Structure 1
Amino acid sequence: MFYSSIQYKQQQQQKTKYMKRLTNKLMGTAIATLMVAAPVMPAMIATQAQAATAASEMTAVKRLNSLLSGTKSMTASFTQSTKGANGNQSGLSAKNGSFSGTMSLQRPNNFRWNITAPFEQLIVTDGSALWVYDKDLDQATRQDASKQLGNTPALLLSGDPNKIAQNFKITQPNAKKNYYVLYPKSGDASFKSLSVSFNGGKPVMMVLNDSLGQVTTIRFNNVKLNTSIASSQFKFTPPAGVDVINQ
């Protein structure tokens, strides 16, 4: 069969787009760890915790609720990196290093996670619909937020603090340090644990570990609490021409 140069170029472009879609989908899965992954404490923190006196569960719940209840809204920039079970950087992110971007939240259940590098991806919810938009793929996925937020780290940051204990077992390994480790009570959760550290009343780091043993570390910078955020930041309308997938 005869192929013109135009036909050949189109074929190559389609192949390139398919490979890019596949690669970004895998990378997007790592990014979406924010919504579904599970953290464990770094080895150094765990070692310190073994020698420290842990707070009782009741005390840990009270202290964490106090920290989170004072946060009505939050904005920050972040960096995110993932390591495999062997401690090496995950292959999903090794090519491009850490992910980075900006985030914002407003209670109850308004959340925006905007990846800007090494590619663009937006995760946003107003508590009703949860959207994942991949700009490079011209694709947006819509999900029911109520089915996604119940046992995820997003609940910790944007949900009702008084309901967190219903979904997680809350521990404070060192009663003198403001870091907490949470374990999901549901057997359906896709992660094992979640740790969050505070400095000056602000969340500064989350460490997550998925069922495959991958550890994801998220560091927050330029954290601002209780600032005014436009409600439009938590709404999403798919741009014209974007493929929309309903799940």
Structure 2
Amino acid sequence: MNMLRKTVCAMALGAATLAPVMSTTVFAATTAASEQQATANLVNQLSHVRSLTANFQQTTKITNPKKVQKKGLSAQHMNQTFKGTMKVARPGKFYWEITSPSKQVIATTGKTVWIYDPDLQQAVRQSLDEQVANTPALLLSGNTSQIMKSYRVTQPNKAKTYYTLYPKKSDGVFESLTISFGANKAPTLMILQDSLGQTTYINFSNVKVNPTIPASTFNFTPPKGTDIIDQ
């Protein structure tokens, strides 16, 4: 899988997280939680989410042009905004559909990941390996007990429900990930700093926590005539 496709897949599987999105005054002092407290708080936050549906808007901006150029990405890959919908169910089920400006579907039942491009009539099939499992998908659709294994969790302000995570392995796509939660314990924003010199903002709207989602939602069957690529 090339670097761009791997990044898009990893971002989606995070799907349904920088600078903290909050309001403070110059006089307000904040107290950060310890790493142990932050991890426990995040696990508790996520434990309430068994399933999730939402609309999303994903925008990627260049923060390190030299690094982007070094990775060989052209201007058409920069500063793009995508819109779509996502569905998540524990454990390990994820459906991410980009509807604008182009179309793409990323789906997994926890074992096999499908990445389908209808415009290209092409579907990539790959196993959910460790590298993919260490992406934001772990937070939204995976096993919360694995968070401590994969990430160093920080909570810059223990009174606020936003967390910044740093992968413990340096060979991943992401360098840091921040996730912010709303009053209903649903994620509202994810911000990702990646190894390509980009920052991706994913805003969630129309979020529904713990809806009933048919298991068949996450099963993907390529349409007839689709070129299937195994990786």
Q: After TM superposition, is the score higher than 0.5?
A: yes
Shift of 1:33: 4.7
Between 125-134 and 77-86, the greater mean CA deviation after superposition: 77-86
Task: Kindly report structure 1 stretches of 4+ aligned residues shifted beyond 6 Å.
Answer: none
Map of 2:69 onto structure 1: none
Match of 1:122 among 99, 105, 108: 105
Give the Cα–Cα distance (whole angstroms) in 1 for the partners of residues 38 and 223 of structure 2.
44
Aligned ranges 1:1-247 → 2 under 5 Å: 31-35=8-12, 41-42=18-19, 52-85=30-63, 91-94=76-79, 97-200=80-183, 201-247=185-231
The letter of the residue matching 1:164 is I
Give the Cα–Cα distance (whole angstroms) in 2 for the partners of residues 36 and 111 of structure 1.
7
Q: What per-residue deviation string (whole Å, max 9, x for no partner) do you get for residues 62-107 of structure 1?
A: 11111101100000000000100159xx74254xx52000000000
Shift of 1:150: 2.4
Map of 1:4 onto structure 2: none
Long gaps (5+) in structure 1 = 1-24
Residues 10, 136 of structure 2: 8 Å contact kept: no
Shift of 1:122: 0.3
How many residue pairs get aligned? The number is 218
The letter of the residue matching 2:213 is I
Q: TM-score, normalised by structure 1?
A: 0.80
Shift of 1:53: 1.5
Give the Cα–Cα distance (whole angstroms) in 1 for the partners of residues 49 and 95 of structure 2.
16
Long gaps (5+) in structure 2 = 66-74
Shift of 1:175: 1.0
Shift of 1:30: 5.8
SS in structure 2 at match of 1:115: strand
SS in structure 2 at match of 1:32: helix
Q: Percent identity?
A: 45
Residues 36, 191 of structure 1: 8 Å contact kept: no
Shift of 1:32: 2.9
